[in-house]
């Protein structure tokens, strides 16, 4: 797609490809005039492959980017979480810029201005869009969702489970998606406790993430941290929101996602590299965490 320049051409291009509300300066505006584009519900700059609206305030939108799209400032009516499955882009907000790729997560407030440049083709995203009224019903705010997304592994897995459920699309799908999203919104309480936790908790977190492809037990961890194993066992769920075994499985499967999308090694090698005893254990754990079999995720 051509990189169009000039105010008239941009208006024509945007109105044709994305029939939503545009905000521009006058026809004779200088180059310094800020051009913004507002996207309505379930609308994204890429090509929409699939949309599922659970009619309760959550929409699941799969988008692909195969050609160059509008790279200027734009916003979305609804808050949403984006999981990058393939490709990547350079993301720019008001206060920061970052390069994102497969496995990256981004949260967008409603009407938050951002732009994307240097997008890799093809790219694919899964977007979970949340309406304001739904947040009010749950008695949570966008800031709470933004906080919850910091629990990256859990957020990725819940997004994948929501996406998988949207593919089923039966009588129970709408309620199931709402329940899965509620799990995400509840995770911020553990993050708040973690931030106020004793020093050894953060040391334990670093240790577990460093040995992600190993299988440490309580005795091993207690010895390294010079703690009583009972101390770790008693307080672990309070600060991490799950058991030690569940936390390690999340770390391993989270690491496996990037290994799978890289296509550099086969699934058997990935399972072994992530510390699973055998391929069947890896497959069971992967499906339990994400809702997909590794081969299914590989084809997304």
What percent of the chain is modeled with pLDDT above 70? 88
pLDDT at position 241: 93
φ, ψ of residue 125 to 5 degrees: the values are -125, 150
Q: Taking the CA atoms of the chain, what radius of gyration do you get in angstroms? A: 21
Say whether pLDDT at 51 is over 60.
yes
Q: How many Cα neighbours within 13 Å face the side chain of 168?
A: 17
According to CATH, what is the number of the domain 38-187? 2.60.120.10
Assess whether pLDDT exceeds 70 at residue 279: yes
Look at residue 92 and give its three-state secondary structure: strand
- pLDDT at position 78 is 97
- Higher-confidence position of 16 and 105: 105
Task: Report angle CA 159, 165, 171 to the nearest 5 degrees.
Answer: 140
**CA 273 to CA 253: how far, in whole Å?**
11
What mean pLDDT comes out for the span 128-146? 95
| Contact by Cβ (8 Å): 261, 102 | yes
The most confident of the ranges 4-18, 145-159, 184-198 is: 145-159
Helix (H, G, I), strand (E, B) or coil at 19: coil
- Report residue 62 as tokens: 């799969």
CATH class of 197-298: mainly alpha
Domain boundaries, the chain: 38-187, 197-298
The arrangement of strands across the sheet holding 22-23 comes to: 22-23, 36-39, 73-76
Q: What is the dihedral angle through the alpha carbons of 64, 270, 183, 168, rounded to the nearest 10 degrees?
A: 50
Give me the mean pLDDT over the 128-148 stretch.
Answer: 95
Instruction: Give the ranges where 28-172 is alpha helix by DSSP (H).
Output: 132-138, 142-148, 152-168
**132 vs 5 pLDDT, higher one:** 132
Question: Which tokens is 224 given?
Answer: 């390294």
Q: What is the mean pLDDT of the chain?
A: 88
| Whole-structure pTM value | 0.87
Nearest Cα to Cα of residue 62 among 133, 131, 123:
123
At 4 the pLDDT is 34
In angstroms, the CA 103 to CA 83 distance is 6
Q: How far apart are CA 37 and CA 24, in angstroms?
A: 8
Is residue 15's pLDDT more than 80?
Answer: no
> Which of 29-33, 159-163, 259-263 has the least mean pLDDT?
29-33
Residue 187: the pLDDT is 87
Q: What is the mean pLDDT of residues 188-193?
A: 88
- 126 closest CA partner among 81, 171, 166, 165: 81
pLDDT on residue 35: 61
pLDDT the model gives residue 11: 28
pLDDT at 149: 95
Q: Give residue-wise pLDDT tens across range 237-254.
A: 999 999 999 999 999 999
Name the strand (E) or helix (H) holding 126. Answer: strand 115-130
Asked if residue 23 has pLDDT above 80, the reply is no
Q: Does residue 21 carry a pLDDT above 50?
A: no
Query: Mean pLDDT across the stretch 277-284?
Result: 95
Pair of tokens at residue 104: 């990256």
pLDDT in tens, 63-90: 999 999 999 999 999 999 999 999 999 9
State both tokens at 20.
Answer: 């939503």
**pLDDT at residue 60 greater than cutoff 60:** yes
């Amino acid at each position: 797609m051509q990189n169009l320049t000039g105010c008239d051409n941009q208006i024509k291009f945007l109105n044709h490809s994305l029939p939503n509300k545009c905000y521009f300066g006058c026809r004779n505006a200088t180059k310094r005039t800020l051009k913004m584009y507002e996207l309505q519900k379930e609308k994204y700059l890429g090509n929409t492959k699939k949309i599922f609206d659970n009619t309760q305030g959550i929409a699941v939108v799969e988008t692909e980017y195969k050609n160059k799209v509008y790279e200027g400032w734009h916003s979305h009516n609804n808050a949403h979480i984006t999981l990058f499955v393939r490709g990547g882009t350079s993301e720019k907000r008001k206060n920061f810029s970052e390069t994102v790729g497969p496995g990256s997560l981004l949260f967008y407030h409603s009407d938050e201005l951002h732009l994307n440049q240097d997008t890799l083709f093809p790219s694919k995203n899964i977007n979970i869009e949340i309406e304001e009224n739904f947040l009010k019903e749950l008695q949570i705010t966008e800031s709470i969702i933004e906080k919850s997304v910091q629990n990256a592994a859990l957020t990725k897995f819940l997004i994948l489970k929501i996406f998988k459920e949207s593919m089923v699309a039966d009588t129970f799908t709408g309620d199931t998606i709402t329940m899965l999203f509620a799990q995400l919104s509840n995770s911020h309480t553990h993050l708040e406790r973690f931030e106020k936790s004793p020093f050894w908790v953060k040391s334990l977190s670093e240790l577990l993430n460093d040995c992600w492809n190993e299988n440490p037990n309580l005795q091993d961890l207690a010895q390294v941290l010079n703690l009583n194993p009972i101390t770790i066992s008693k307080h672990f769920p309070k600060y991490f929101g799950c058991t030690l075994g569940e936390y390690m499985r999340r770390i391993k499967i989270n690491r496996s996602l990037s290994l799978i999308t890289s296509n550099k090694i086969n699934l058997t090698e990935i399972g072994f590299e992530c510390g699973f005893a055998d391929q069947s254990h890896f497959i069971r754990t992967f499906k339990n965490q994400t809702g997909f079999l590794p081969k299914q995720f590989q084809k997304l």
